[in-house]
């Protein structure tokens, strides 16, 4: 049950108020980066490599430069003069802005053409002649580790192999001991495919350098404008472009999902060109470039094992990961976490022994390791544990729901310390699964399935009961390039009682303009409709690390609540002064302070704010403003129980999702409409890699599906009608008890779908299929099993 403490007029937490930002979007008045047009603006297009691995012998721009309207062609050699040809990644690796001699993946940036309009730039790109000497690329990450594999990163002094890093957590010896003596052990090899976020808006920027004032305004598609400003200052500071001279503006963003966290070469080249020409430079990548070159997500090869007793008690898990990062580690994780929060992979189950290790390798593929609507690497971890859980239940002959119920961490055992070191804040996993089972009619479905199996029909039921880990994060562990992962809110209330609030995060569709206003409305009683929320301009917003990994509510949302509470404390003082009583004699109810026992003696928040400007108590600072930088004491741990039912055509193996019930627990709910919308969207983005999406490369490193004709983003037809609900277990440490929700469904849905499909096919002895599970993949698996002949 969602309860509201404020009236609908105030519109605090729990009210499904309509979104403020929609007004402009539904009328075509959003302002996205490609909508920005500045006087004298130049357009940039990028020449890209047709080869996955090649030496650049020669770049001939002469024909391109003859085209009227072409201003310049920029190569790595040009950037080298300014020491701008390489840049750091967020993981302290290095990435080429433009190559001086070698290209490392197909579609890598080779040169940039600058022209007075977009069409001319496109023609000039075609006219640039590049001579390559192709080399045999390393595409398979396992082969990359073989002793005779060519060393790809010859730019790194002393590098003798393609290994990037090794990471491990847990107790290796203890885990091995448990596995040696366990009754039952299951093991699955799984690949979590390389996928792409495909926000409907691609990436782009307008770099506007003002030579006269030595000032750069950078409009760009970024989820983390402040961090980007700092990165630009680190990269270009030696040219005099220091941080105070840089203003990053992230306008309306057409979806991010992690793909708009990294700094792409195109941004840096645009800045360099604007810096050199003194003119605004627009760069908007097209979809093919976006798919082929921008950061990928996932691409984890996982060997996952679970040990249990014969009675069905989980004893231990062990994961071994090979992470394919492409030619550089351009993941967007907190710096101390090369595998992100993968160590959440012990799951929702009560056992005390685990060991996980990972190794990362370089290959001739695009760099990355971003989120795809997922907290850092949590999807990979959850997929592994939830698939494994099903495999174990099957090995034990237990129903997968019963097996989960038997092993869940109990509600009363929170806060619960996981074997990999996390302290889960709260949860009620039994309640979530029970509700999902009731809603979907689990027992009836199992009976129906038994009947169908007798008739040879393929029906499957899949469960996923996941624990997320979001809200990075506490400053003791979490930073990006040294900057702690707090987030911020600044509230200014105007004399008439209306407010503007600014944040270090940046919405890309999450609805911050509405939900943040609701948090402040809840705390101050100022109607949400009178609280204007602003993000994305580094000149005005307080510093923050941005929006990704479901961190906005846990960090900036908390900052909003704390900043508002600071103001409420001030309001109490002013009210006491105005009512001539002591502060202790005042009671708060949303929107006003009144004297205990005399509710008619009251001052509304509007009265109080007005007084802060017109009649503030002697000795008190005038005005009504507060700022808070919130450093979370812990992460938050949303959870969910998902059940999926599939029917599979036994001749064509077409998969139909008949029903999908998602019960989420994201703690207290700020706006149920927005939360539900986030869940719906996340579920479709979970469906996508489960059944449709994967970036596919051939052995020469050519991408085989680099457009949306072959990279299969689900439409409204593939996407089923999601049935969603919730249980509410507030986070005990978060100021408003919220946990974050944007990514839970993307994390939880793939194993539910995979488990349902594998459940249907288990009659043929299938225990695992890698996602995306397509009819063709089922066909191949059944053929391999000898179930079908043709």
Partner 1 sequence: MTRDITVTINGEQHTVAVEPRLLLVHLIREKLNLTGTHIGCDTSSCGACTVLINGKSAKSCTILAVQADGASITTIEGVGTPEALHPLQEGFRECHGLHCGFCTPGMIMRAMELLEKNPNPTEEEIRWGIAGNLCRCTGYNNIVKAIQYAAAKLRGEETPSTEPEFV
Partner 2 sequence: MIPEPFEYSAPTSLSEALTLLRELGDEAKILAGGHSLIPMMKLRFATPTHLVDLNRVPGLSYVTEENGVLRIGAMTREHELDESPIVAEKFPIFRDAARLIADPQVRNFGTVGGNLAHGDAANDQPAVMIALNAEVVIASLDGERTVPIDDFFYGFYMTAVQEGEILTEIRVPIQPGRTGNAYHKSERKVGDYATAGVAVQVSLDDDGVCTYAGIGLTNVNPTPMRARRSEEALLGRRIDEDAIAAAARYAAEDCNPSDDLRGSTAYKRRLVRVLTQRMIHKALERAHGRSTH
Among 60, 146, 183, 286, binds partner 1 (CB under 8 A): 286
For Cα atoms 692, 693, 695, give the angle at the middle one, nearest 5 degrees.
Answer: 145
- Could you say which of 223, 449, 508, 510 is catalytic? 223
Residue 25 backbone zone (phi > 0: left; psi -120 to 50: alpha; other: beta)? alpha
For residue 123, the partner it binds in partner 2, partner 1, none, with Cβ less than 5 to 8 A by kind, is partner 2
How many residues of this chain interact with partner 1, rule: CB under 8 A?
Answer: 69
Residue closer to partner 2, measured from CB, 127 or 356:
127
**484 alpha carbon, distance to own chain's centre:** 18
The residues in 674-693 that bind partner 2, with binding defined as CB under 8 A, are: 692
- Could you say which of 48, 298, 318, 373 is catalytic? 373
Does position 119 interact with partner 2 (CB under 8 A)? The reply is yes
What CA–CA distance (Å, rounded) separates 416 from 30? 44
**531 alpha carbon, distance to own chain's centre:** 27
For Cα atoms 324, 328, 330, give the angle at the middle one, nearest 5 degrees.
Answer: 90
Which of these ranges, 16-24, 65-73, 127-135, 468-476, lies near partner 1 under the rule CB under 8 A? Answer: 16-24
Q: CB–CB of 527/521 below 8 Å?
A: yes
The residues in 185-214 that bind partner 1, with binding defined as CB under 8 A, are: 197-202
Which of these ranges, 184-192, 247-255, 336-344, 695-703, lies near partner 1 under the rule CB under 8 A? Answer: 247-255
For residue 680, the partner it binds in partner 1, partner 2, none, with Cβ less than 5 to 8 A by kind, is partner 1
What CA–CA distance (Å, rounded) separates 245 from 275? 12
Does position 673 interact with partner 1 (CB under 8 A)? The reply is yes
Does position 764 interact with partner 2 (CB under 8 A)? The reply is no
For residue 779, the partner it binds in partner 1, partner 2, none, with Cβ less than 5 to 8 A by kind, is partner 2
For residue 199, the partner it binds in partner 1, partner 2, none, with Cβ less than 5 to 8 A by kind, is partner 1
The DSSP-derived string for 128-150 is -EEEEEE------HHHHTSTTSP
Residue closer to partner 1, measured from CB, 253 or 558:
253
Q: Are strands 102-103 and 94-96 parallel, antiparallel or unpaired?
A: unpaired
What CA–CA distance (Å, rounded) separates 467 from 410? 13
Coil, strand, or helix at residue 442? Answer: helix
Instruction: Give the residue ranges of DSSP H helices in 580-623.
Output: 605-614
Residue closer to partner 2, measured from CB, 25 or 776:
776
Does position 726 interact with partner 1 (CB under 8 A)? The reply is yes
Does position 719 interact with partner 1 (CB under 8 A)? The reply is yes
Instruction: Give the residue ranges of DSSP H helices in 67-138.
Output: 76-80, 118-127
Q: Mask of contacts with partner 1, 31-60, x by CB under 8 A?
A: xx-xx-x-----------------------
For residue 790, the partner it binds in partner 1, partner 2, none, with Cβ less than 5 to 8 A by kind, is partner 2
What H or E segment, with its residue span, contains residue 372?
none
User: Is 205 assigned a catalytic role?
Assistant: no
For residue 704, the partner it binds in partner 2, partner 1, none, with Cβ less than 5 to 8 A by kind, is partner 2
Residue closer to partner 1, measured from CB, 132 or 692:
692
The residues in 425-464 that bind partner 1, with binding defined as CB under 8 A, are: 439
Q: CB–CB of 390/399 below 8 Å?
A: no
Residue closer to partner 1, measured from CB, 67 or 149:
67
Nearest to 661 by CA among 403, 401, 393, 456: 401
User: Is 223 assigned a catalytic role?
Assistant: yes
How many residues of this chain interact with partner 2, rule: CB under 8 A?
Answer: 31
Residue 566 burial by Cβ neighbours in a 10 Å radius (0-12, 13-18, 19+): middle
Please give the span between the terminal C-alpha atoms of the chain, in angstroms, as a whole number. 54
How is residue 261 written in tokens? Answer: 């966290």
Nearest to 149 by CA among 139, 266, 110, 585: 139
Nearest to 197 by CA among 248, 261, 251, 252: 261
What CA–CA distance (Å, rounded) separates 75 from 500? 44
- Minimum CB distance to partner 2, residue 125 (Å): 10
What H or E segment, with its residue span, contains residue 247?
strand 246-249
Q: CB–CB of 361/322 below 8 Å?
A: yes
Which of these ranges, 232-240, 512-520, 549-557, 650-658, lies near partner 2 under the rule CB under 8 A? Answer: 650-658
For residue 654, the partner it binds in partner 1, partner 2, none, with Cβ less than 5 to 8 A by kind, is partner 2
Does position 776 interact with partner 2 (CB under 8 A)? The reply is yes
Among 222, 292, 348, 508, binds partner 1 (CB under 8 A): 508
Does position 28 interact with partner 1 (CB under 8 A)? The reply is yes
Cis (ω within 30 of 0) for the bond into 706? no
According to DSSP, the residues that pair with 131 across neighbouring strands are: 58
Residue closer to partner 2, measured from CB, 50 or 623:
50
Does position 717 interact with partner 2 (CB under 8 A)? The reply is yes
Which of these ranges, 4-12, 369-377, 465-473, 711-719, lies near partner 2 under the rule CB under 8 A? Answer: 711-719
The DSSP-derived string for 25-44 is HTTT---BGGG---TT-EEE
Nearest to 708 by CA among 161, 189, 291, 144: 291
Give the chain's length.
Answer: 790
Which of these ranges, 45-53, 253-261, 535-543, 621-629, lies near partner 1 under the rule CB under 8 A? Answer: 253-261
The DSSP-derived string for 504-531 is SS--SSS-HHHHHHHHHHHHH---GGGE
Residue closer to partner 1, measured from CB, 405 or 439:
439
Please report, for residues 195, 242, 769, the alpha-carbon distance to residue 772 in angstroms, rounded to integers and kept in the order given.
Answer: 10, 46, 8
The residues in 691-710 that bind partner 2, with binding defined as CB under 8 A, are: 692, 696, 704-705, 707, 709-710
Among 88, 237, 255, 312, binds partner 1 (CB under 8 A): 255
The residues in 373-432 that bind partner 2, with binding defined as CB under 8 A, are: none
Among 240, 584, 721, 786, binds partner 1 (CB under 8 A): 721
Q: CB–CB of 469/344 below 8 Å?
A: yes
To which residue do tokens 């040009």 refer? 78
For residue 21, the partner it binds in partner 1, partner 2, none, with Cβ less than 5 to 8 A by kind, is partner 1
For residue 495, the partner it binds in partner 1, partner 2, none, with Cβ less than 5 to 8 A by kind, is none
- Minimum CB distance to partner 2, residue 367 (Å): 24
Which of these ranges, 136-144, 281-289, 341-349, 620-628, lies near partner 2 under the rule CB under 8 A? Answer: 281-289
What H or E segment, with its residue span, contains residue 779?
helix 775-784
User: Is 373 assigned a catalytic role?
Assistant: yes
Among 652, 656, 765, 785, binds partner 2 (CB under 8 A): 652
What CA–CA distance (Å, rounded) separates 243 from 241? 7
Coil, strand, or helix at residue 266? Answer: helix
How is residue 632 written in tokens? Answer: 């979370």
Residue closer to partner 1, measured from CB, 64 or 683:
683
The residues in 94-133 that bind partner 1, with binding defined as CB under 8 A, are: 118-119
- Could you say which of 203, 205, 374, 644 is catalytic? 374
What CA–CA distance (Å, rounded) separates 194 from 601? 63
Does position 66 interact with partner 2 (CB under 8 A)? The reply is no
For residue 439, the partner it binds in partner 2, partner 1, none, with Cβ less than 5 to 8 A by kind, is partner 1
User: Is 21 assigned a catalytic role?
Assistant: no
Task: Give the footprint of partner 1 on this chain (CB under 8 A).
Answer: 16, 18-19, 21-32, 34-35, 37, 118-119, 197-202, 252-257, 286-288, 439, 508-511, 661, 663, 672-674, 676-685, 707-709, 713, 715-717, 719, 721-726
- Judged by the rule CB under 8 A, the positions of this chain that interact with partner 2 are 118-119, 122-123, 126, 286-288, 651-652, 654, 692, 696, 704-705, 707, 709-710, 712, 714-715, 717-718, 774-776, 779-780, 783, 788, 790
- List active site positions: 223, 373-374, 743
């Amino acid at each position: 049950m969602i309860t509201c403490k404020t009236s609908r007029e105030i519109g605090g937490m729990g009210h499904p108020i309509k979104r403020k930002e929609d007004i402009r979007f539904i009328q075509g008045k959003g302002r996205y980066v490609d909508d920005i047009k500045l006087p004298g603006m130049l357009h940039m297009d990028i020449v890209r490599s047709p080869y996955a691995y090649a030496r650049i012998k020669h770049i001939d721009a002469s024909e391109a430069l003859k085209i009227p309207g072409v201003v310049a062609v920029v190569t790595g050699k040009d950037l080298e003069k300014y020491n701008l040809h390489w840049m750091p990644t967020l993981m302290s690796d290095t990435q080429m802005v433009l190559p001086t001699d070698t290209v490392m993946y197909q579609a890598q940036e080779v040169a940039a053409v600058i022209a007075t309009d977009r069409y001319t730039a496109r023609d000039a790109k075609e006219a640039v002649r590049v001579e390559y000497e192709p080399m045999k690329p390393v595409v398979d990450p396992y082969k990359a580790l073989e002793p005779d594999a060519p060393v790809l990163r010859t730019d790194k002094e002393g590098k003798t192999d393609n290994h990037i890093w090794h990471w491990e957590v847990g107790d290796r010896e203890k885990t091995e001991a448990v596995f040696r003596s366990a009754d039952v052990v299951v093991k699955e090899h799984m690949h979590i495919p390389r996928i792409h976020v495909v926000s409907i808006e691609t990436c782009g920027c307008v770099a506007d350098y003002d030579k006269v004032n030595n000032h750069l305004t950078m409009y760009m598609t970024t989820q983390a404008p402040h961090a980007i400003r700092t990165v630009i200052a680190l990269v270009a500071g030696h040219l005099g472009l220091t941080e105070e001279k840089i203003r990053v503006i992230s306008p309306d963003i057409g979806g991010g999902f992690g793909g708009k966290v990294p700094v792409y070469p195109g941004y840096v080249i645009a800045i360099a060109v604007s810096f050199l020409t003194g003119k605004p430079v627009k760069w908007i990548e097209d979809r093919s470039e976006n798919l082929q070159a921008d950061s990928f997500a996932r691409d984890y090869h996982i060997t996952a094992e679970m040990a249990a007793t014969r009675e069905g008690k989980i004893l231990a898990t062990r994961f071994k990961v090979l992470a394919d990062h492409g030619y550089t580690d351009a993941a967007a994780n907190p710096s101390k976490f090369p595998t992100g929060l993968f160590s959440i992979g012990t799951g929702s189950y009560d056992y005390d022994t685990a060991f996980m290790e990972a190794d990362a390798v370089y290959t001739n593929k695009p760099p990355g390791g971003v989120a795809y609507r997922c907290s850092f690497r949590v999807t990979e971890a959850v997929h592994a544990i939830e698939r494994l859980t099903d495999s174990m239940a099957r090995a034990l002959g237990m129903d997968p729901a019963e097996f989960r119920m038997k092993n869940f961490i109990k509600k009363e055992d929170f806060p619960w310390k996981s074997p990999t070191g996390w302290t889960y804040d709260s949860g009620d996993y039994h309640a979530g699964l029970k509700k999902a089972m009731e809603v979907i009619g689990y027992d009836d479905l199992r009976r129906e399935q038994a009947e169908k199996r007798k008739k040879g029909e393929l029906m499957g039921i899949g469960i996923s009961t996941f624990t997320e880990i979001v809200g990075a994060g506490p400053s003791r562990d979490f930073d990006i390039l040294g900057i702690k992962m707090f987030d911020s809110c600044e509230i200014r209330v105007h004399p008439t009682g209306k407010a503007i609030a600014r944040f270090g995060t940046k919405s890309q569709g999450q609805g911050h303009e509405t939900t943040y206003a609701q948090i402040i409305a809840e705390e101050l009683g100022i109607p949400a409709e009178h609280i204007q929320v602003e993000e994305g301009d580094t000149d005005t917003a307080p510093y923050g690390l941005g929006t990704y990994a479901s961190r906005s509510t846990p960090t900036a949302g908390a900052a909003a609540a704390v900043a508002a509470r600071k103001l409420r404390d001030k309001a109490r003082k002013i009210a006491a002064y105005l009512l001539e009583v002591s502060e202790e004699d005042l009671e708060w109810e949303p929107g006003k302070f009144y004297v205990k026992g005399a509710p008619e003696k009251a001052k509304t928040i509007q009265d109080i704010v007005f007084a802060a400007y017109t009649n503030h108590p002697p000795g008190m600072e005038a005005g009504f403003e507060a700022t808070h930088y919130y450093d979370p004491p812990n992460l938050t741990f949303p959870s969910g129980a998902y059940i999926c039912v599939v029917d599979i055509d036994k001749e064509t193996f077409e998969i139909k999702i008949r029903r999908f019930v998602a019960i989420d627990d994201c703690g207290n709910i700020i706006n149920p409409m927005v939360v539900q919308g986030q869940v719906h969207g996340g579920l479709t983005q979970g469906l996508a890699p489960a059944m449709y999406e994967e970036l596919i490369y051939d052995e020469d490193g050519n991408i085989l599906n680099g457009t949306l004709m072959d990279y299969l983003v689900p439409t409204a037809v593939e996407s089923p009608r999601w049935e969603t609900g919730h249980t509410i277990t507030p986070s005990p440490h978060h100021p408003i008890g919220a946990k974050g929700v944007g990514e839970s469904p993307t994390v939880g849905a793939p194993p539910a779908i995979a488990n349902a499909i594998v459940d249907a096919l288990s009659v043929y002895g299938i225990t695992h299929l890698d996602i995306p599970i397509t009819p063709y993949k089922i066909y191949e698996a059944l053929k391999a099993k000898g179930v079908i002949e043709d």
